[in-house]
Structure 1
Amino acid sequence: GAAATGPAVLVKEYILRVDSNCLVITFAPVEGESSFAFVNAIEVVSAPADLISDLARAESGNGYRNWTLSRQALETVHRINVGGPKVTPFNDTLWRTWTANDESFLEPESSSSVSRTVAFSGRLNRRKGGASREVAPDNVYSTCRMADSSNLRWVFNVNPGYKYLVRMHFCDIVSWALNELYFNIIINSDIVYKDFDLSESAGQLLASPYYIDFVVSPDSVGLLTLGIDSCKLTIPSKAVGLLNGLEVFKINNSVGSLDGELSVDAVLQSPTKGGFLVFLRSLMCGFAFVSLVLVAFKLVMRLKAETRNPVAWLPLPLDSAEASTVLPYKTSVGYRFI
């Protein structure tokens, strides 16, 4: 695909806490793989310390618990402006990109034929303690995908063996009055939030941004299913539910890794054979280059010295008995390298 459509672009985004004024990013070769690697650009963006809270709801649906998420490394897997257009870094205070492809993750039963997108042109009611613009920009909370009469399901392929932080963004931009929107939040086959009342959660305000964090695991084959379902409190003539934005983050495993079972210390303390050969070749090339520079420098200095002190020759006498030569003058050149 890349050859026909242009260069493939891979962007990796991580969220981690830094407690010092020094951030070290190391690229290490992988054993058995090509030792050639490159990076085009690195961006480091400072974020509020409370962007990721330690508290999140568990997939069992038994309320919040402390996951010490602020001390974990997170890798962004998906960040979607559900029901709205792509949001570029220029419209996000933390320079994030929100994609606009939520429909490609919808189950067939949740397609656009049974759901619709809504755009809100009014002013959002952001409140103290609610979702700030650093959590998500206005463009995310001003659009949504709404289910009129059916449930919604989004399905994602992720790596099994990890836990994931799922952040769901809500903002009631479809109701005409408070307390008209009630629904269940489903992750995989579990109800993780029953009879969710968006008006109550958003401080009894319409168009007030709100988000919920969940820590969940995918199924055995790496499928993560997120859903909005009707509940016993759902009003028949009103919307079943809505979703404005969605973020999925991979959480580091027990050895502090986001890719495999090797810890960072194990990777850095166990240089591979391929990496050593690359280092050796680089060292030899560097030595050869420095040697060539030194030789060229000495030749130039010698030529300059001979120009300043030309060789003197006397004409040979006709009488061979008196024949003599005058040897070149001796010269001395000094070098100093700093």
Structure 2
Amino acid sequence: MMGIGELKLFIWISSALSLACISIGFTPVDNYLIDCGSPTDTSIGNRVFVSDSSNSQFLKTSQSILANATVSSSIVSPLYQTARILNGVSYYNFPIQRHGRHWIRLYFYPFVYKSYDMRTANFSVSTQDFVLLSNFQIKNDSLMKEFSVNITSDSLALAFTPSDHSFAFLNALEVVSVPDNLIVDDANQINPLKSYQGLLVQALETVWRINMGTLAVSAQNDTLGRTWITDEAFLRNKNLAIPITKIGAVKYSNDTVTRDIAPDTVYGTCRRMNSSGDPNSNFNVTWEFNVDPGFEYLIRLHFCDIVSNAANQLIFNVYINSLIAVQGLELSTLTFNILGVPVYRDFVTGLSSSSKIVVSIGPDTSTGSYPDGILNGLEIMKMNNSKGSLDGDVSAALFPSSGSSKKVGVLVGAILGVVIVLAAIALFLMSRRRRLARKQHSKTWIPFSTSGGGNSLSMGSKSSNGTATSVISNLEYRFPFVALQEATNNFDESWVIGVGGFGKVYRGVLGDGTKVAVKRGNPLSQQGLAEFQTEIQMLSQFRHRHLVSLIGYCDERKEMILVYEYMENGTLKGHLYGSGLPSLSWKQRLEICIGAARGLHYLHTGSVKPIIHRDVKSANILLDENLMAKVADFGLSKTGPEIDKTHVSTAVKGSFGYLDPEYFRRQQLTEKSDVYSFGVVLFEVLCARPVIDPSLPREKVNLAEWALNHQKRGLLEQIIDPNLVGKIRLASLRKFGEIAEKCLSEYGVDRPTMGDVLWNLEYALQLQESVIQNEPDEDSINQIGDVSPLISNVNPVDDTVTAEKVRGSSVGDLSDVSISKVFSQLIKSEGR
């Protein structure tokens, strides 16, 4: 371990090397700089903004106009002298090479071009997940809006949506990667003062970026292209603080605080309390900033002791909105008693109706130290609200769809299509966050017992609808936390096999050698105690070979952990796209769909009241070592209506892309909502692509709409997974498409039951497996023309085997029914 002297030498050498390499900053993987409307590229310092005329592959628009300003280049930046005017919903789509946080910078300067007065433009800007600007207007001066979004997909789509009878415009655009450590997950929350986690998933808008002192910092002098303005205009009493400049005193000592966090000019300047040598001085230095009410804010305070002669003299308090944020902040304790080492602290405010944020520093009178204090820099960043918006009380569903001119409810400018799904997921997130806010949720969980007070959950045996759920009685299913630590190698991150809405899933091995999947709840998740209880209660009541089995749970140490049987082959989604796993054959896909349908059919019919899953998707269909499908994740499941009722009225919950539009519109849940979601899964299985992909052309964004359109036109074979081309019998494909189409009927009453879906999937498999007599090549499965010959030479009809018998038996494994006999009675491809 280094001593203080060695550490000082190390810091000195590191600083010298840093100064020698001052021009070397962060190199972004994604670096899109667009000069909108310009016929040529534009250089700003050492950065080149390319013309979007020559790079039109990024822009998808129905109608746009290239505009030129008459403003002199000496008055305004070259970036503001051209613009692209957008008369309809338009998209900038950018491939993302590296997932993570990115700057999104939008440049605006309203000028008049022919009949277009950009001061009258009114429009919204949104990504797939967040609203950045809503009903945005700018009247006069140039403006750059900077956002920071954590991108987890392979593309970023920016949608520009004009309001009614208006248009949108944009002068320039940046989409640029930022370092991973720029925004970390943790912060300190004030009111009440406690730890905060969850910044990584937040979209942020830079509201203020301030350099305390007299020096501003231009984008050309910041490694990340940021602009820092001086603080003088924000000081309440300028006489209470003095500016200090000692840029050469700054020593960057580690990889945590680098010039990417803030440049030398920020850490080398500060405002210092003007105590004038009076040891009895007792006042605060205060800055006041205008903000939008109704949002939480991330406040980053930058400190660097460039004023002390001795490293232990500077002790002071920090206040945010008149609340203590740090009492007795002693910078030397954070920097190993070495002066000039930068540090920063992040704070998250609560929701407030105030339009002001007030930051103060002042003496800590409890220590008897000299009244002194400094602040070097400050950043205020707005955090997205519960609807996914950074601008007003609008939903993230503002991200527009194509192919429809209808509007949904209160969603301004949103177009029917993808919007329905996006609105539903936004409402889902909103309802959860609002409930947490009402309860003043402290993000701390408490243990519970499903038995009403005991410490263990015991499962008995149950029989429903002829299917036994046999579990040995009185066994303890409650695992000690230490046992799960050992099973997962202390929750080793390299053992993570999945991440969901509830938390991370780890592979594990119990003491007896049993492989398990351990799902550890994340306190910051939108899913919490209710979902934890629901999952245990559902899986403790029902056992079926096509439902993932619960082995146990743990609620020690305020943890919520679920332990399942281990599924060797992961998710169905992982085998369809995105993970590089081997492609599944058509037969395997059909068998997986059949298994999942059996599991869902059992949920719907296996007890007096149906169980509605509410989150049917390919990521929740798991595959064992034999590729047998099992339905998983019952945290959102809901007991269905009473026998004399048609539906359950409940808040909308589900997953983006799979949600039943009728459920969204009416908030009335039935088993047919699961059927709709399963229909989306069927097309996902056939086409092997995401259910929503904004990077695709408009007509392809929504898989369900796109595939349904091809199915209705009889062109389904044109969009199947390329790995399946030439490997599906046409009769099987037709039947499969019919099933999916019926599942996606607009109204639930027109959709089949899961029993009917299961029966038809079995039929599609039989059509695929059938052997045509006198066929030249029995291995050939490129079928064309009338499909009836495919099944014209089947076995004689066995009247003792009916479709109803199949559906009644499908709760089990159908092992007592001959599939060939079942389908031998069918001589036409229509089936049911």
TM over 0.5: yes
Gaps of 5+ in 1: 277-338
Which residue does the alignment assign to 2:145?
Answer: 12
Which residue does the alignment assign to 1:138?
Answer: 264
Match runs of 1:258-297 below 5 Å:
258-269=390-401
Report deviation, 1:115: 1.1
Q: Secondary structure at the match of 2:266?
A: helix
Which residue does the alignment assign to 1:74?
Answer: 204
- Report the TM-score when normalising by structure 1: 0.72
More divergent stretch after superposition (16-25 vs 173-182): 16-25
Deviation per CA, 1:69-109: give whole Å up to 9, x if none: 11110000000111131101111110111112x111111xx
Deviation per CA, 1:233-263: give whole Å up to 9, x if none: 2523xx5211100100000001110012222
Which residue does the alignment assign to 1:106?
Answer: 235
| Amino acid across the alignment from 2:227 | T
Report deviation, 1:129: 4.7
Deviation per CA, 1:137-194: give whole Å up to 9, x if none: 1110000011132311111111111000000000000000111111111011210111
1:254 aligns with 2:386: yes
Q: Is the 8 A contact 2:181 2:256 kept in 1?
A: no
Q: Secondary structure at the match of 1:94?
A: coil
Let me know the Cα RMSD of the aligned residues: 2.4
Residue 62 to residue 218, structure 1, CA distance change in 2 (3 Å): closer
| Amino acid across the alignment from 2:201 | R
Which residue does the alignment assign to 2:286?
Answer: 153
Q: Secondary structure at the match of 2:169?
A: coil
Larger relative contact order, structure 1 or 2 (CA cutoff 8 Å, min sep 6): 1
Q: Secondary structure at the match of 2:341?
A: coil
Percent of pairs with identical residues: 42
Which residue does the alignment assign to 1:336?
Answer: none
Residue 16 to residue 170, structure 1, CA distance change in 2 (3 Å): same
1:244 aligns with 2:373: no
Match runs of 1:27-46 below 5 Å:
27-31=160-164, 35-46=166-177
Residue 234 to residue 22, structure 1, CA distance change in 2 (3 Å): farther
Following the alignment from structure 1 to structure 2, what is the Cα–Cα distance between the partners of residues 129 and 56?
18
Q: Is the 8 A contact 2:245 2:268 kept in 1?
A: yes
Residue 185 to residue 251, structure 1, CA distance change in 2 (3 Å): same
1:227 aligns with 2:353: no
| Counterpart among 193, 202, 217 of residue 335 in structure 2 | 202
Q: Is the 8 A contact 2:272 2:374 kept in 1?
A: yes
| Counterpart among 215, 218, 243 of residue 117 in structure 1 | 243
Report deviation, 1:275: 6.9
Residue 139 to residue 57, structure 1, CA distance change in 2 (3 Å): same
In terms of Rg, which structure is larger?
Answer: 1
- Report the TM-score when normalising by structure 2: 0.30
Report deviation, 1:219: 4.5
Q: Secondary structure at the match of 1:23?
A: strand
| Amino acid across the alignment from 1:94 | L
Following the alignment from structure 1 to structure 2, what is the Cα–Cα distance between the partners of residues 47 and 96?
11
Residue 257 to residue 242, structure 1, CA distance change in 2 (3 Å): same
Q: Secondary structure at the match of 1:87?
A: coil
Following the alignment from structure 1 to structure 2, what is the Cα–Cα distance between the partners of residues 275 and 266?
7
- Bigger share in helix: 2
Q: Secondary structure at the match of 2:206?
A: strand
Following the alignment from structure 2 to structure 1, what is the Cα–Cα distance between the partners of residues 215 and 253?
25
Report deviation, 1:124: 1.8
Residue 208 to residue 45, structure 1, CA distance change in 2 (3 Å): same
Structure 1 segments of 4+ aligned residues over 6 angstroms from their partners:
272-276
1:192 aligns with 2:325: yes
Residue 178 to residue 187, structure 1, CA distance change in 2 (3 Å): same
Gaps of 5+ in 2: 1-70, 77-139, 276-282, 415-832
Q: Is the 8 A contact 1:155 1:224 kept in 2?
A: yes
Deviation per CA, 1:195-220: give whole Å up to 9, x if none: 11111122321000110000013742
Aligned length: 264
Q: Secondary structure at the match of 1:179?
A: coil
Following the alignment from structure 2 to structure 1, what is the Cα–Cα distance between the partners of residues 242 and 405?
54
